[in-house]
Structure 1
Amino acid sequence: MTTPISPALVAVIGPVEPALLSAWTAHYRGLGIERFHLAFHFPDHVPDAWRHQLIAASHALGVIPARVSTGPWHEHTNTRLRDDLRNQAGPGWHLIADSDEFQTYPAPLSTVIAQAEATRQKVIGGLLLDRVTNDGRLAFWRPETGLDRAFPLGGHLTYRLLKGDPRKIVLAHSSVTMASGNHRAPGHKPAPDTLACVHHFKWRSGVLDDLQRRVKQFTSGEWSEHTPAVRSEASRLLLHIDRHHGRIDVSDPRLGFRHVILDRLPNGWAAEAARIAANWRPHAPQNQPGSTISSPSS
């Protein structure tokens, strides 16, 4: 068997802060990633100045976008762009991550891939760990603060509160087809005892406006959706934030928030992640007013 080479990173990037893109790129380069295949997509409400600034930031980081597009963010938009990027990336292993997802592994990527190949696995899984501020505020992030200091707590907001699928396919061989949202690879099941920790830095300043806009666009039909699951997740978050005066309730023991850092897996992660991945089931839809979406890109 040939020695695994560094996988190609595949990602669809929305209108994030240039500083987050910089931190994200540095994180994955620290894991050994050398090839970035990125597509940038901007909904129509995003100002031209923001779009130009983010693309310029990507070029300054030495990452030339494979594609830049604008328009509605239909539920299928991310999937189509991701699959185009995977085709461009070519044969081999692909690391797949959203721009607010920072993956931490139990071993170096080369070792993780070698172990998967030795057991004839073509996918490697991960589990979301939502990162938030100490008091649950949706804070504006300043790069000089650092992500670990700005969002020191990690917990299971997506899984416990939003009823969303916390499972992720983080590495997949090019021969494997991926489902929407990178949650599954039909016909392939990741090894449950070596799941990566996917630190999820979604809960920042501006996310509420984004979720409200997406709920409105999907509800009106301006953006097309396949299921109401995405809107349902967003609606649950918005309701929770309203009930807790603009904050995430980090004291709720169900959510399991505790201090974590990017440089190593949380204590007891292997057993915790395996248990959650095994127990997760799709949430039955509720026919309630205003209920229905999470970001199609997250």
Structure 2
Amino acid sequence: MKTPVSPALVAVVGPVEPALLAAWTAHYRRLGVERFHLAFHFPDHIHNAWRHQLIAASHDLGIVPARISTGPWHEHTNTQLRDFLREHAGPGWHLIADSDEFQTYPALLNEMIAWAEAAKHKVIGGLMLDRATNDGRLALWRPEIGLDRSFPLGGHLTHRLLKGDPRKIVLAHSSVTVASGNHRAPGHKPDPDKLACVHHFKWRSGVLDDLRLRVDRFTSGDWAEQTPAVRSEASRLLQHIDRHNGRIDVADPRLAFRHVTLDRLPSGWAAEAAKITAIWRPHTAQSQPGSTISSPSS
């Protein structure tokens, strides 16, 4: 059987720190990704210096952005840019990841795709695992220390506290439509026994300001939303942080935080991820199409 070509990576990138972009790019290159199709989007409040620094960092990494845009971060903005990038990437398999999502797979990417094609599947799924510091602080991190050591804990913050959808479509054939937030592919169900772990490095220093801005802009109507889901999830996180003195309560057993690493799946991941995927349901009817928090810092 012919070995599949490595997938094209498709990602919409907001105003993240250049060090995160570098770590993210290195992670996916280690997985075997060779083609990066990136779109950068900057809300109006982002300073030109930050925008220029991040674009320069992309070029230094050998990646020429397919599109650079500025303006409101409407809820549909990410989807429109992602679909443009998928068209730009062309036929074949696409790996879809936000810039704070670092995926770990049960097997090599080429092996995962070969298995999917043999089984006549056109998507491969994943499940989010939120990363946090040892004490739950939303901390700065230094590239020389790295993300794994800075945020050594992994837990289920997104769906158990924020009531967001933790499911992800991580690999999709170009012929498949992927829904907003990359949570579903209508008409296609991922194999629940072969789910990737999507390490979610969202909870870094600065994210609270981003979330407050997003809530304000959606509430005012400056940024268009499709459902109240994103605002509701952001509000739950902000309330939790306020109750716990500016930290995530990593000791809460419901959130199941434990030490994990990017170089292998967490212990017992296949059964854990399959169970969560099987029982997860939208928090309300309004949130069903909604997206896990995807702020401009994602």
1:296 positional shift: 5.3
1:112 positional shift: 0.4
Q: Is the 8 A contact 1:103 1:199 kept in 2?
A: yes
Matched with 1:92 is: 92
Matched with 2:73 is: 73
Q: Is the 8 A contact 1:211 1:295 kept in 2?
A: no
Q: Deviations over 1:190-235 (max 9, x none)?
A: 0000000000000000000000000000011000000000110000
Q: Deviations over 1:53-73 (max 9, x none)?
A: 000000000000000000000
Give me the whole-angstrom Cα distance separating, in 1, the residues matched to 2:203 and 2:7.
Answer: 28
Say whether 1:294 aligns with 2:293. yes
Q: Deviations over 1:2-34 (max 9, x none)?
A: 421000000000000000000000000000000
1:159 positional shift: 1.1
Give me the whole-angstrom Cα distance separating, in 2, the residues matched to 1:131 and 1:50.
Answer: 25
Unaligned segments of structure 1, at least 5 residues: 287-292
Give me the whole-angstrom Cα distance separating, in 2, the residues matched to 1:32 and 1:62.
Answer: 15
Matched with 2:136 is: 136
Q: Is the 8 A contact 1:72 1:223 kept in 2?
A: yes
Q: Deviations over 1:123-149 (max 9, x none)?
A: 000000000000000001111111111
Paired AA for residue 110 in structure 2 = S
Q: Is the 8 A contact 1:229 1:285 kept in 2?
A: no
Give me the whole-angstrom Cα distance separating, in 2, the residues matched to 1:132 and 1:230.
Answer: 21
The alignment partner of 2:75 has SS state of coil
The sequence identity of aligned pairs, in percent, is 81
Give me the whole-angstrom Cα distance separating, in 1, the residues matched to 2:41 and 2:221.
Answer: 19
Matched with 1:115 is: 115
Structure-to-structure mapping, 1:147-158, within 5 angstroms = 147-158=147-158
**TM-score in terms of structure 2 length:** 0.96
Matched with 2:126 is: 126
Give me the whole-angstrom Cα distance separating, in 2, the residues matched to 1:185 and 1:4.
Answer: 21
Give me the whole-angstrom Cα distance separating, in 2, the residues matched to 1:55 and 1:294.
Answer: 24
Matched with 2:212 is: 212
The alignment partner of 1:120 has SS state of coil
Q: Is the 8 A contact 1:241 1:247 kept in 2?
A: yes
Structure-to-structure mapping, 1:28-39, within 5 angstroms = 28-39=28-39
Paired AA for residue 112 in structure 2 = V
Q: Is the 8 A contact 1:74 1:296 kept in 2?
A: no
Matched with 1:290 is: none
Matched with 1:54 is: 54
Give me the whole-angstrom Cα distance separating, in 2, the residues matched to 1:212 and 1:276.
Answer: 29
Give me the whole-angstrom Cα distance separating, in 2, the residues matched to 1:29 and 1:157.
Answer: 28
Say whether 1:248 aligns with 2:248. yes
The alignment partner of 2:224 has SS state of coil
Paired AA for residue 283 in structure 2 = H
Give me the whole-angstrom Cα distance separating, in 2, the residues matched to 1:285 and 1:89.
Answer: 34
Give me the whole-angstrom Cα distance separating, in 2, the residues matched to 1:285 and 1:118.
Answer: 36
Paired AA for residue 32 in structure 1 = G
Matched with 1:289 is: none
Q: Is the 8 A contact 1:105 1:265 kept in 2?
A: yes
1:294 positional shift: 2.6
**TM-score in terms of structure 1 length:** 0.96
Superposed CA RMSD in Å reads: 1.3
Give me the whole-angstrom Cα distance separating, in 1, the residues matched to 2:284 and 2:90.
Answer: 38
Unaligned segments of structure 2, at least 5 residues: 287-291
Matched with 2:203 is: 203
State how many pairs are aligned. 293
The alignment partner of 1:249 has SS state of coil
Q: Is the 8 A contact 1:130 1:202 kept in 2?
A: yes
Structure-to-structure mapping, 1:262-273, within 5 angstroms = 262-273=262-273
The alignment partner of 2:270 has SS state of helix
Q: Is the 8 A contact 1:168 1:183 kept in 2?
A: yes
Paired AA for residue 293 in structure 2 = S
